[in-house]
Amino acid sequence: MAPEVIRATDQYAGQAADIWSCGVMLYVMLFGAYPFESPQSRNQQGKARMDSMMQRILRMEWSIPADVEVSPEGRDLLCKLLVGDPRHRLTMSQIQSHPWFLTNIPPDASAMNDNFLAHTDYTGVQSEDDIKRVLASAAIPAPASRFAFGAAGYDDNYEDLDAAIDDEMANQRSAGPTNQAAALPAVAIAAQVARPPSALGAPGNGHV
């Protein structure tokens, strides 16, 4: 969650918040951990855990793990995505022209991204009627699930959210950095993380 979303200020802009999310996803895919979760917060439960993470986001407290070798280009990209002021984050086109992104990017992924970014008007992609149908469908209650919002969901049961986070991070860790990258969809930043293992350096050295 971007800091401007937490603060609920008039600085909020959907595209800039999405860029922040790209930075968080890139961090998770590279390191198998959340950038704003501390060792202390992992031992917390429920609301205390979430509050701790949100406070770290607002204070911009994150770092690159010392036990993972990170290329200067990778470090630079992360530092330009996880920026507190949304006005100073990279745009998607700037991400696409970043040296780290351009290294060994699959040609098909590059062509697909170029095609997406070529659309300046998305009104033809999803009509107003389509949007209304999606909203109507979203209003239908889903089957009971520990992952559902609402009466028995995250809003009232932070332990379920903790479990969801822990399950996801366990899956990421069991996959390993190289396997995680190979399984990622080739879109935007994910396309570059999915570049061939040879682009990551020698096997097992953790170079990103």
| Residue 165 resides in a domain | yes
| Residue 130 resides in a domain | yes
How high is the pLDDT of residue 110? 80
| Residue 140 resides in a domain | yes
Per-residue pLDDT of the chain (208 residues; tens, 9 = 90+): 899 988 887 767 888 999 999 999 999 989 988 999 877 777 777 788 888 888 999 999 999 988 888 899 999 999 999 999 999 999 988 998 999 998 888 888 888 878 877 766 655 666 778 878 888 887 776 555 444 444 344 444 555 555 666 666 666 556 554 333 333 333 444 444 444 333 333 333 333 4
Range of the domain at 64: 3-200
How high is the pLDDT of residue 75? 93
Do the Cβ atoms of 90 and 36 come closer than 8 Å? Answer: no
| Residue 123 resides in a domain | yes
Q: How far, in Å, CA of 80 to CA of 24, rounded? A: 12
| Residue 206 resides in a domain | no
Per DSSP, 67 falls in state T
